[in-house]
Amino acid sequence: MSYIAPKDYAADPEIVAKILRTVSGQLELDWMKRVGEPAAFRPSQPSRGLTLDDINQGGYGPDKLPEVIRHNFSMAPRGALLPPGLPSLGYRVNRKSDVWADVAPQLFEEAKSRRWAPARDVPWAALDTPSHDANREAALRQLATGLISIGLVSCDVAASWEWRMNQEFHEIKYLLCAQMFDAARISEAFRKRALYGGGSLGVDSRALGELLKSIFLSETYPEASASMNLMLFSWVQALGRHWAASASNPADSYLGAQLAQDATRFVTYGVGHVRNHLAARPVQLERIADHLEQCENALVGTLGAPEMVEPLVFLSGGFEPVAAFYARTADEYFRRCAAAGLGDRRDASPLSPFLRMLQGDAR
Amino acid sequence: MAVRFPSLDFFKALQQRTLDDKARFEKLGYCDTTFGVRIGPELYAIAFEVYECTGVRLASDMGELDFVLEAPPALWREMVASILANKGADAAHSLNTLSHVGDRMKLVSTDAEGNDKFYRFMASLQEFFDQAHHLEVTL
């Protein structure tokens, strides 16, 4: 059932009387007498404009936020004066270290500044003469099909946590909205890539579905962030680089490079967030590591699935370069895990025996 | 006036290009990194802030850089030659391709986040090098 406000405002005599006094010119002006902390914020760098970091000072900044928010569960923005009786919006994510990364405000600004529009920025006409054969084109469309799913589910993951976060963490909520837009654009751009000029979508992958479900159904936000931002997008970033490096035309070069760039913002937030989370609550290490192990298991299924590995073989000119690509991507991912405070995951991760098996086969 | 590659003057000329072609760099968005380019024994430090290159200098300490792109002089020359010939690097000679396929160009960093700044700002960094086609370069 929809929420019902506790008063019938249209019929409340006190409220009606107040409105009538206002209409007759008797203004109370209480709101004008009680204002928040005065501020005089300006852009620190005029060419960058006025950023969130510029205005995040004093009581308006996040530095003085307590680890657990208990003073505000309403829609009131951080730094506003809180009258009594504000309704609770029922936020469930109220611990700063469960969401925060110092780099988040910067990444939000960066996401907008480095925006691009697939409709016009991709030189689509270059695909009229793509300079590659039909098998390679089919491989690209198959990989694009997977990227569409990844983009859509990543939207869902960010959306499913954004509304549960306390309003005091607005920078993180903004960033999650930017992530939704970035993820939607991945889905949009690669759907257009697959369908351009007589194209078609490829085959959906059950293994990829299992991976995305493992991330989507994460029990906590830190688990969702570790598995999506840190793990999944490490591989999306690498796929973007591989797509661009294998490109035989300017459209694919552009798409791959943009995918890598956009994915890296997810990764950067993931590293900062997990590190901050574990620094504040080291007891969570085992839980995050265990969740990553489960998701890495699903990732092995995806990386080994014919819908993923076979198109990569066509794109890379053989199996050996794919094994090298996987090994290099895993190495970068493990470095990020270490930077995030997860220690050396090489021994614990199901990725390691999978990669050893591939490298044996590649030789 | 011709500039020699590699040289500090070459990178200073590219720095000036980020002002001369300001609109192109603004379109690509914020770019905040100080990175290195190692060509043979020389290490050049290149600083980007907001949209523009704010400084280039010879460096000795890699620790102050987010990441370093390392390649033999011959490969760097090949990349610049491709930029001059095609008005921008072709797909085989982009920073991404050279550093991704076969490890011809090495991406070196002391920390994972510094490393990721290469990927975060890749289009701006590629554009920085691609601006060489506006210069008269002696290879």
- The secondary structure of B55-121 as a DSSP string is EEEE---GGGSS-EEEE-HHHHHHHHHHHHHHTS--GGGSHHHHHHSTTSSEEE-SSHHHHHHHHHT
Nearest beta carbon to residue A244 from set B50, B96, B115: B96
- Partners of A267 on chain B (C-beta within 8 Å) are 116
3-state SS assignment for residue B28? helix
Predicted pLDDT at A36: 82
A319 alpha-carbon distance from chain centroid: 31
- Find, in chain B, the residue whose alpha carbon is nearest to that of A262: B120
Say what percent of chain A tops pLDDT 70: 99
| Beta strands B68-71; B33-39: pairing state | parallel
Average pLDDT of B78-105? 93
Query: From CA A32, how far away is CA A55, in angstroms rounded?
Result: 22
The answer to whether residues B56 and B11 touch, using CB atoms and an 8 Å cutoff, is yes
Question: Crossing angle for the helix pair A250-280 and A319-339, nearest 10 degrees?
Answer: 30
Residue A206 CA neighbour count, 13 Å, CB half: 0
Nearest beta carbon to residue A114 from set B29, B100, B115: B29
Average pLDDT of B95-111? 91
Predicted pLDDT at A257: 97
**pLDDT tens-place string over residues A220-274:** 999 999 999 999 999 999 999 999 999 999 999 999 999 999 999 999 999 999 9
> Between vectors from CA A142 to CA A136 and to CA A144, what angle results, nearest 5°?
105
The token pair at B78 is 């090949």
The answer to whether residues A259 and B111 touch, using CB atoms and an 8 Å cutoff, is no
Mean pLDDT for chain A? 95
Predicted pLDDT at A34: 84
What is the pTM for the complete model shown? 0.96
Q: Is the pLDDT of residue A198 over 90?
A: no
For an interface test with B, the pick among A261, A274, A336 (most B C-beta atoms closer than 10 Å) comes out as A261
Question: Crossing angle for the helix pair A206-216 and A285-304, nearest 10 degrees?
Answer: 160
Predicted pLDDT at A362: 63
Predicted pLDDT at B77: 97
Average pLDDT of A330-343? 98
Band of pLDDT at residue A290, cut at 50, 70 and 90: very high
Band of pLDDT at residue A70, cut at 50, 70 and 90: very high
Average pLDDT of B55-61? 95
Check A265 against B120: CB less than 8 A apart: yes
The answer to whether residues A141 and A202 touch, using CB atoms and an 8 Å cutoff, is yes
Q: Is the pLDDT of residue A363 over 80?
A: no
Residue-wise over A150-164: b if at least 16 C-beta within 10 A, else e? bbbbbbebbeebbee
Q: Is the pLDDT of residue A37 over 90?
A: no
Measured CA to CA in angstroms, residue B55 lies from A162, A304, A314, B36, B81 at distances of: 39, 45, 42, 12, 24
Residues of chain B in Cβ contact (below 8 Å) with chain A? 28-30, 32, 49-52, 91, 94, 96-97, 100-101, 111-113, 115-116, 119-123, 126
Q: How far is A47 from chain B (nearest CA, A)?
A: 7
- Find, in chain B, the residue whose alpha carbon is nearest to that of A322: B101
Average pLDDT of B44-72? 96
ipTM confidence score: 0.96
Average pLDDT of A36-50? 91
Task: For residue B67, give the nearest of B49, B47, B97 by alpha carbon.
Answer: B47
Average pLDDT of A298-325? 96
Check A257 against B122: CB less than 8 A apart: yes
Q: Is the pLDDT of residue A359 over 90?
A: no
- Helix (H) or strand (E) run with residue B3 in it: strand B3-4
Nearest beta carbon to residue B113 from set A242, A253, A271: A271
Check B120 against A245: CB less than 8 A apart: no
Cα separation of the two ends of chain B: 14
Least reliable range by pLDDT among A32-41, A243-252, B82-91: A32-41
- Partners of B23 on chain A (C-beta within 8 Å) are none
